[in-house]
């Protein structure tokens, strides 16, 4: 809820503040990164503040194991978006310090999956169904899911596993229709992102009578609500499935776990992001070449132990999906799928802020929580306090930068916030070692070269190395 509030106060509809002629792709990407940064900052602070204050006997250590925004999208995104990266830890310092060693038996270790914002493009335009998303589970992680595109088959009802490489779209649709006891596949609807790579699949399903509702952005929320009885489109069909849709791996995992908790089923299959990102291929060729992996992509698949598991379910990712857990989705903007989930509302006169959060737990219970907060001072002060430290650092001169960072590090609370920002922003160039970091300077150079970071980031990193030597350890040891 608080992450959704942070984004709403800082960057909801941010693109609309610029004239049409100024709304370039570069501006949109910058604003999207700003919103990702805010969401990651607030979400991390809430997780850390909660875990470090739990009493003995209720202590937990949370490890981020699945995340979104890492991958490069050629010609569109430079990758390395601000996020809660894989390997981030939240808990008491004494527990983070011994992570990887013997942990006290009274400390519960949890795995977390997150997409700090699903529908980031919508968040900067103020459009519907943008939300924050995470899950926590007591299950151990069995395989690391690479942050590349995943093709998906989903239903709100359980269906037996099948090999998508041995059937076509219509065959898969028949399997999913049977899960609903539908007499024919014409009663199905299958969600897709509006991307050229999906047009051949949408055409094939349309010709067979399957409706294909689509959206420009955000394919996590549809996965969460697939099969809900009350959900109806204007043609009276429900949202029943995804059949061959291709999207991010984190969105697959974070959406599938609550779907399975609700009694649904999902299959995923890794695809070639490089082929699907090519600008010189028409939709038909993109679809046909979705498994034309590069050597680097195949190495990722092998490293994650998917080479003999071309298709998978959540049981291949988690040891025990029903070990106990909860997922939460905070509405930044009004939600199209669940209209009662209105976006964040801040009342400057009363100082009250409300946020809707959809919660699904491992028992399959689905609830919508209306969270109401009262600002200690006023909404303007709350907005300022939820800003990432980078907002202040980007405004100061080079001569003042080290002084401002030093001031942050001298304050206990500000230092914790800065450490969270540093981890969320520079994780592609950081190897976490228990509660310290190894900084990869060559990685910083390459991130700047491809536009994921800039020279201001280089100066922030250099100043932090000088002022917070205790945070870092050498890779030469």
Say if residue 310's pLDDT is above 70. yes
Say if residue 2's pLDDT is above 50. yes
- Asked if 166 and 217 sit in the same domain, the reply is yes
Quote the CA–CA distance of 140 and 320 in Å, as a whole number.
7
Nearest to 344 by CA among 360, 352, 362, 356: 356
- Asked if 165 and 116 sit in the same domain, the reply is no
Please tell me the least confidently modeled range out of 100-104, 199-203, 214-218, 382-386.
Answer: 100-104
Quote the CA–CA distance of 477 and 474 in Å, as a whole number.
6
- Asked if 424 and 297 sit in the same domain, the reply is no
pLDDT number for residue 146: 82
Q: What is the largest CA-CA distance in the chain?
A: 72
**Mean of the pLDDT values across residues 409-425?**
96
Show which of 370, 386, 402 is a domain's final residue.
386
Joined together, the tokens standing for residue 149 give 């595109």
CATH number of the domain that residue 236 is part of:
3.40.190.90
Distances (CA, A) of 163 to 153, 189, 219, 311: 11, 21, 22, 7
Say if residue 92's pLDDT is above 60. yes
For residue 226, the Cα-to-chain-centroid distance in whole angstroms is: 19
Say if residue 83's pLDDT is above 80. yes
In total, how many domains does the chain have? 3
Percent of the chain predicted with pLDDT > 90: 84
- Asked if 174 and 225 sit in the same domain, the reply is yes
- Asked if 371 and 402 sit in the same domain, the reply is no
Confidence of residue 477 (pLDDT cuts 50, 70, 90): very low
Which of the pair, 308 or 141, is modelled with greater confidence?
A: 141
Say if residue 110's pLDDT is above 60. yes
Say if residue 215's pLDDT is above 70. yes
**Mean of the pLDDT values across residues 83-111?**
92
Joined together, the tokens standing for residue 182 give 């539908």
Q: Which residues pair with 109 in a beta bridge?
A: 61
- Asked if 46 and 76 sit in the same domain, the reply is yes
Burial of 289 (0-12, 13-18, 19+ CB in 10 A): middle
- Asked if 75 and 56 sit in the same domain, the reply is yes
- Asked if 195 and 254 sit in the same domain, the reply is yes
- Asked if 311 and 394 sit in the same domain, the reply is no
Confidence of residue 434 (pLDDT cuts 50, 70, 90): confident
Render the burial of 374-391: b for 16+ CB within 10 Å, e for the rest: ebeeebeebbeebbbbbe
- Asked if 264 and 330 sit in the same domain, the reply is no
Please tell me the least confidently modeled range out of 227-231, 347-351, 459-463.
Answer: 227-231
CATH number of the domain that residue 17 is part of:
3.30.540.10
Quote the CA–CA distance of 174 and 167 in Å, as a whole number.
10
Nearest to 357 by CA among 343, 374, 373, 337: 343
Confidence of residue 237 (pLDDT cuts 50, 70, 90): confident
Say if residue 144's pLDDT is above 90. no
Give the domain range for residue 441.
388-477
| pLDDT tens per residue across span 249-273 | 999 999 999 999 999 999 999 999 8
pLDDT number for residue 44: 98
Find out whether 453 and 442 touch, Cβ atoms under 8 Å: no
Say if residue 59's pLDDT is above 90. yes
- Asked if 109 and 246 sit in the same domain, the reply is no
- Asked if 253 and 167 sit in the same domain, the reply is yes
Distances (CA, A) of 328 to 98, 134, 244, 331, 419: 29, 6, 26, 10, 25
Confidence of residue 75 (pLDDT cuts 50, 70, 90): low
Percent of the chain predicted with pLDDT > 70: 98
Show which of 337, 353, 386 is a domain's final residue.
386
Show which of 368, 386, 404 is a domain's final residue.
386
Residue owning tokens 């080479």: 307
Find out whether 176 and 241 touch, Cβ atoms under 8 Å: yes
């Amino acid at each position: 809820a608080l992450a959704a509030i942070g984004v709403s106060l800082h960057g909801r509809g941010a693109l609309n503040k610029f004239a049409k002629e100024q709304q370039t792709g570069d501006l949109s990407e910058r604003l999207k990164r700003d919103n990702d940064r805010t969401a990651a900052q607030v979400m991390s602070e809430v997780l850390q503040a909660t875990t470090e204050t739990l009493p003995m006997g209720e202590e937990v250590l949370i490890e981020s194991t699945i995340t979104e925004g890492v991958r490069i999208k050629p010609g569109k995104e430079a990758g390395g978006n601000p996020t809660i990266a894989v390997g981030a830890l939240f808990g008491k310092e004494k527990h983070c310090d011994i992570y990887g060693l013997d942990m006290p038996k009274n400390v519960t270790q949890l795995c977390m999956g997150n997409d700090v914002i699903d529908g980031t493009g919508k968040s900067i335009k103020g459009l519907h169904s943008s939300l924050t998303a995470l899950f926590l589970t007591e299950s151990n992680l069995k395989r690391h899911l690479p942050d590349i595109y995943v093709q998906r088959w989903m239903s709100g009802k359980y269906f037996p596993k099948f090999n998508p490489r041995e059937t076509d779209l219509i065959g898969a649709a028949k399997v999913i229709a049977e899960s609903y006891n539908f007499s024919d596949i014409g009663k199905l609807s299958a969600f897709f992102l509006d991307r050229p790579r999906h047009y051949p699949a949408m055409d094939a399903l349309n010709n067979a009578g399957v409706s294909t509702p689509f959206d420009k952005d955000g394919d996590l929320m549809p996965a969460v609500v697939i099969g809900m009885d009350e959900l109806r489109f204007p043609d009276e069909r429900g949202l029943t499935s995804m059949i061959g849709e291709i999207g991010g791996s984190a969105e697959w995992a974070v959406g599938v776990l609550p779907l399975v908790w609700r009694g649904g089923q999902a299959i995923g299959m890794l695809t070639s992001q490089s082929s699907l990102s090519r600008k010189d291929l028409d939709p038909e060729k993109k679809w046909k070449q979705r498994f034309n992996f590069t050597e680097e992509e195949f190495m990722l698949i092998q490293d994650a132990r998917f080479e003999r598991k071309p298709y998978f379910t959540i049981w291949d990712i988690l040891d025990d999906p029903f070990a106990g857990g909860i997922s939460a989705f905070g509405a930044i903007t009004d939600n199209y799928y669940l209209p009662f989930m209105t976006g964040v509302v801040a009342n400057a006169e009363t100082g009250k802020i409300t946020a809707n959060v959809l919660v699904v737990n491992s028992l399959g219970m689905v609830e919508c929580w209306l969270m109401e907060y009262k600002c200690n001072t006023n909404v303007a002060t709350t907005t300022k306090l939820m800003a990432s430290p980078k907002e202040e650092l980007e405004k100061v001169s080079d001569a003042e930068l080290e002084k401002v960072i030093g001031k942050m590090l001298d304050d206990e609370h500000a230092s914790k916030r800065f450490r969270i920002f540093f981890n969320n922003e520079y994780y592609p160039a950081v190897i976490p070692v228990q509660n310290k970091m190894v900084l990869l300077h060559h990685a910083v150079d390459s991130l700047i070269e491809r536009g994921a970071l800039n020279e201001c980031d280089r100066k922030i990193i250099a100043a932090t190395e000088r002022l917070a030597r205790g945070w870092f350890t050498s890779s030469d040891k």
